[in-house]
Amino acid sequence: MNWHNIPLRLVIGNLISFSSSLFLIASCIIREPKKVFVMQTMENIVLSISSAVLGSWSGISTLLIAAVKNALVAMGRFTFGLMILFCIVLTAVGLIVNNRGVIGLIPIFATVSLTACNYYTKDILAIKWSLLLNIALWSIYGFLIYDFALGTMQIVTGIITYVSIRRTEKAIRNRKHSDK
């Protein structure tokens, strides 16, 4: 590979994307739902900048809308009506600005599914499982748009999330066992 021919925007986009992953990793380790959503808000904002540099308009739109949604979830103000509104807006805006064809549908689907899960899931395990699905979809998307930092860090974060899920499940089992 000739490193001199890699576009600067690809390098910059990947560096920004890598930095966003630090917020995602933090959100996967934290056990307090409110703090999970604060970290995800930060991750969405930074990752939207990466998507702008890499020219993914459906990524930018879904990430910025998701940042607002995550902030509302963190504040405890995410209602059923807002969930429906966000799903409609995410889908409509994502489809309108999609410049990647089928690939551009991945962030729309990932974000809409997580939005519904954010409303319906209240316990930390359910939140983390829905986050793991979201991470898998964003990993695939990252590799498809040449955001290798995103794709790789999503895999790493997915592993961290899975380990965190298992530890949380173990802690819950131990707590239930000690309560008997």
Give the C-alpha separation, 28 to 101, whole Å.
Answer: 30
Give the per-residue pLDDT at 31: 78
Collapsing DSSP to helix, strand or coil, 89 comes out as helix
Residue 146 is given by DSSP the state T
Nearest residue to 136 (alpha-carbon basis) of 151, 146, 148:
151
Phi, psi (deg, nearest 5) at residue 31: -105, 0
- CB burial readout 134-168, b (16+ within 10 A) else e: bbebbbebbeebebebbbbbbebbbebbeebbeee
Ramachandran area for residue 20 (φ above 0: left; ψ -120 to 50: alpha; else beta): alpha
Cα(90)–Cα(65) distance, integer angstroms: 7
Q: Say what the pLDDT of residue 42 is.
A: 95
| Integer angstrom CA distances of residue 153 from 13, 19, 22 | 14, 10, 9
Residues of the chain whose pLDDT is less than 70? 1-5, 180
pLDDT at position 62: 86
